[in-house]
Structure 1
Amino acid sequence: MLKTLMPRGLRLGLLGAAAAAALAFGTTAPARAQIHIAVAGPITGEYAAFGTQMKEGAEMAVADINKAGGLLGQKLILEVGDDACDPKQAVSVANQFASKGVKFVAGHFCSGSSIPASKVYSEEGILQISPASTNPKFTDEGSWNTFRVCGRDDQQGKVAGEYLAKHYKGEKIAILNDNSAYGKGLADETAKALHAAGGKEVISTAYTPGEKDYSALVSKLKEAGVTVIYVGGYHTEAGLIIRQAKEQGMKATLVGGDALVTNEFWQIAGDAGNGTLMTFPPDPRLMKTAADVVKEFKAKGIDPEGYVLYTYGAVQVWADAVKKAGSADPKKVAAALKAGGKWPSVLGPVSFDKKGDVTGAGYVFFEWKNGSYAQM
Structure 2
Amino acid sequence: MKRFARISAVSVFSLTVGVGAALAASGPIKIGVQAPITGDYAGEGQGIENGVKLLANEQNAAGGLLGRKIDVVVCDDEGKPAQAAICARKLVNDGVIAVIGTYTSGAALAAAPIYSAANVIQTSDGTSDELTAKGWKTFFRNAPPNSAEAVFTAQYLVKAKHYKRIVVLSDHSSYATGLADSVDKAVKADGGNVVAKDYITAGTQDYSAVLTKLKSANPDVVYFSGYYTDGGLIRAQMEQLGMKAAFVGGDANQNAAFAKIAGPAAKGAIIINIPSPENLPYKEAKKFLADYVKAYGSAPPSIYTFTNADGFRAVIAAIQATKSTDTAKLIPWLHNMKGFQGVTGPFSWDAKGERIGSPMAAFEVQADGSYKTVYPM
Q: Given the two structures, how large is their TM-score scaled by the length of structure 1? A: 0.88
Query: Is the 8 Å Cα contact of residues 214 and 241 (structure 1) preserved in structure 2?
Result: yes
Please name the residue that 2:179 is paired with: 186
Please name the residue that 1:351 is paired with: 348
- Local SS of the residue matching 1:344: strand
Find out whether 1:297 has 2:295 as its counterpart: no
- Which amino acid counterpart does residue 367 of structure 1 have in structure 2? E
Query: Is the 8 Å Cα contact of residues 164 and 192 (structure 2) preserved in structure 1?
Result: no
Q: Which has the higher helix share?
A: 1
* 1:81-230 alignment runs, 5 A limit: 81-130=75-124, 132-169=125-162, 171-230=164-223
- Which amino acid counterpart does residue 259 of structure 1 have in structure 2? A
- Which amino acid counterpart does residue 38 of structure 1 have in structure 2? G
Please name the residue that 1:43 is paired with: 37
User: Could you tell me how far 1:170 is from its partner in structure 2?
Assistant: 5.0
State the identity %.
35
User: Could you tell me how far 1:168 is from its partner in structure 2?
Assistant: 4.1
User: Could you tell me how far 1:284 is from its partner in structure 2?
Assistant: 4.5
- Which amino acid counterpart does residue 289 of structure 2 have in structure 1? V
- Local SS of the residue matching 2:194: coil
**Which deviations, in whole Å up to 9, do the C-alpha atoms of 1:20-40 show, x marking residues without a partner?**
xxxxxxxxx99x710111111
**How far apart, in 2, do the equivalents of 1:232 and 1:93 lie?**
26
For residue 373 of structure 1, the aligned residue among 364, 371, 374 is: 371
Please name the residue that 2:7 is paired with: none
Please name the residue that 1:256 is paired with: 249
**Which deviations, in whole Å up to 9, do the C-alpha atoms of 1:222-274 show, x marking residues without a partner?**
22212311001001111111111111111121101111111111111111111
**How far apart, in 2, do the equivalents of 1:216 and 1:99 lie?**
47
RMSD value over aligned CA atoms?
A: 1.6
**How far apart, in 2, do the equivalents of 1:284 and 1:263 lie?**
11
Q: Given the two structures, how large is their TM-score scaled by the length of structure 2? A: 0.88
**How far apart, in 1, do the equivalents of 2:269 and 2:185 lie?**
22
For residue 358 of structure 2, the aligned residue among 361, 364, 367 is: 361
**How far apart, in 1, do the equivalents of 2:327 and 2:298 lie?**
31
User: Could you tell me how far 1:347 is from its partner in structure 2?
Assistant: 2.3
Which 5+ residue runs of structure 2 have no aligned equivalent?
A: 1-23
Query: Is the 8 Å Cα contact of residues 53 and 306 (structure 1) preserved in structure 2?
Result: no
**How far apart, in 2, do the equivalents of 1:72 and 1:302 lie?**
32
For residue 232 of structure 1, the aligned residue among 194, 218, 225 is: 225
* 1:312-331 alignment runs, 5 A limit: 312-331=309-328
**Which deviations, in whole Å up to 9, do the C-alpha atoms of 1:9-60 show, x marking residues without a partner?**
xxxxxxxxxxxxxxxxxxxx99x71011111111111111211221121111
**How far apart, in 2, do the equivalents of 1:294 and 1:47 lie?**
21
**How far apart, in 1, do the equivalents of 2:277 and 2:238 lie?**
32
- Local SS of the residue matching 1:350: strand
User: Could you tell me how far 1:308 is from its partner in structure 2?
Assistant: 1.3
* 1:279-290 alignment runs, 5 A limit: 279-285=272-278, 286=280, 287-290=282-285
Please name the residue that 1:20 is paired with: none
- Which amino acid counterpart does residue 307 of structure 1 have in structure 2? Y
Larger Rg belongs to: 1
**How far apart, in 2, do the equivalents of 1:342 and 1:168 lie?**
33
Please name the residue that 2:267 is paired with: 274
Aligned length: 346
- Local SS of the residue matching 2:33: strand
**How far apart, in 2, do the equivalents of 1:170 and 1:113 lie?**
34
- Which amino acid counterpart does residue 295 of structure 1 have in structure 2? A
User: Could you tell me how far 1:215 is from its partner in structure 2?
Assistant: 0.9
